[in-house]
């Protein structure tokens, strides 16, 4: 049987690399679009056996190239997203216009399935521009392609992430660490491999549902997440509840950096819990196993942030 061809946007990121491995193990070929094959190609090409992965260089807004790719595709997964805006990489272009364009192409070329990665908790965070753009993008997709499956995961983590790894780096450097809203915002972190294996199963088992929420097994506040990370890297730090007025001032300064640590829009987003809403079906309803526990998985790679390295013993 001829393998199906899955077109992936955002293939070089944490989720994309794991998804390539998962899909190709299930006899699904992958076509990955990247802006710069010299910069990202080597990262992507190691994720699959020869013959199961094609890497194409080009812009995600090159409509003629996209038409060619969609003509050859059976499936499409969109993982492209941003947490802050810089120039043309703004929320409107990335979260609304791009999903709108490719969901129309999925309809024109009658793809079997179009899977789009969104985010958990965005319906409550109406004052966040990020959340608003995500919701508008979802609406465009569902208007254009009724076979779309929109996934809303909580925070996705792994050794390749920009969440736990960045936090452990900062916790290793700073004697005092700021927390916002007293660190009470709740999350259900999901391990990257749990999410990508679930995406593969949605394809292979032909699961059909317009919106599926995804959450890991552990519900934790942001403060509890920091405490677990500190325990894992064997460090003690003062977690300082920063007044929001001061947090906004520092965020304005951070926004001047190429990669800001936090923005004012992210501060608005952090006000709201990142847990299952109960309004939609979740990974649990479809027996999509997302059972890897946060503390166990972080302990597998946190040694890189300990003073003594991998073989240090926790007290």
β-sheet bridge partners, residue 282: 213
User: Residues 248-257: contacts with CB within 8 Å, 24+ apart?
Assistant: 250/178, 255/84
Q: What is the pLDDT of residue 311?
A: 62
Q: What is the pLDDT of residue 87?
A: 87
In this structure, how many other beta carbons lie within 10 angstroms of the beta carbon of residue 138? 24
Q: Is the dihedral of CA 223, 82, 197, 162 positive or negative?
A: negative
Q: What are phi and psi of 55, to 5 degrees?
A: -105, 125
Residues in the chain, overall count: 315
Reduced to 3 states (helix: H, G, I; strand: E, B; else coil), residue 66 is helix
Q: What is the pLDDT of residue 39?
A: 75
Asked if CATH classification 3.30.70.360 holds for the domain at 4-157+189-217+276-292, the reply, yes or no, is: no
Q: Which residues of the chain have pLDDT under 50?
A: 315
Residue that is written with structure tokens 């452990």 in the block: 168
- Distance separating alpha carbons of residues 215 and 155, to the nearest angstrom: 8
Q: What is the pLDDT of residue 38?
A: 77
Q: Is the dihedral of CA 215, 218, 219, 221 positive or negative?
A: negative
CB 229 within 8 A of CB 164: yes
- Distance separating alpha carbons of residues 130 and 180, to the nearest angstrom: 18
Paired tokens of 128: 């966040």
In 3D space, the residue among 192, 216, 190 whose CA is nearest the CA of residue 18 turns out to be 192
Reduced to 3 states (helix: H, G, I; strand: E, B; else coil), residue 145 is coil
| E strand map for 160-210 | 176-179, 186-187, 190-191
Q: What is the pLDDT of residue 312?
A: 56
The residues spanned by each domain of the chain are 4-157+189-217+276-292
């Amino acid at each position: 049987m001829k393998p199906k061809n899955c077109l992936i946007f955002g293939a070089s990121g944490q989720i994309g690399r794991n998804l390539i491995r998962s899909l190709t193990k299930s006899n699904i070929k992958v076509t990955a679009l990247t802006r710069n094959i010299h910069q990202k190609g080597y990262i992507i090409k190691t994720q699959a056996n020869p013959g199961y992965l094609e890497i194409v260089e080009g812009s995600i807004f090159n409509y003629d190239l996209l038409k060619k790719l969609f003509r050859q595709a059976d499936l499409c997964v969109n993982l492209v997203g941003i947490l802050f805006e810089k120039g043309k990489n703004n929320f409107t272009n990335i979260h609304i216009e791009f999903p709108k364009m490719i969901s129309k192409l999925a309809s024109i070329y009658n793809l079997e399935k179009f899977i789009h990665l969104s985010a958990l908790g965005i319906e409550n965070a109406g004052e966040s521009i990020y959340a608003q753009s995500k919701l508008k993008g979802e609406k465009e997709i569902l208007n254009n392609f009724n076979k779309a499956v929109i996934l809303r995961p909580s925070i996705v983590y792994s050794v390749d992430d920009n969440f736990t790894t960045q936090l452990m780096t900062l916790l290793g450097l700073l004697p005092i660490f700021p927390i916002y809203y007293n660190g009470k915002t709740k999350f259900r972190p999901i391990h990257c491999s749990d999410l990508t294996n679930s995406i593969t199963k949605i394809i292979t088992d032909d699961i059909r549902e317009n919106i599926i929420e995804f959450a890991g097994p552990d519900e934790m506040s942001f403060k509890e997440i920091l405490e677990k990370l500190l325990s894992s890297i064997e460090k003690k730090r003062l977690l300082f509840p920063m007044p929001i007025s001061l947090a906004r001032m520092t965020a304005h300064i951070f926004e001047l950096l190429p990669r800001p640590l936090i923005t004012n829009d992210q501060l608005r987003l952090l006000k709201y819990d990142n847990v299952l809403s109960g309004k939609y079906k979740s990974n649990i309803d479809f027996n999509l196993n997302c059972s890897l526990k946060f503390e166990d998985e972080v302990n597998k790679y946190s040694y890189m942030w300990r003073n003594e390295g991998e073989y240090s013993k926790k007290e």
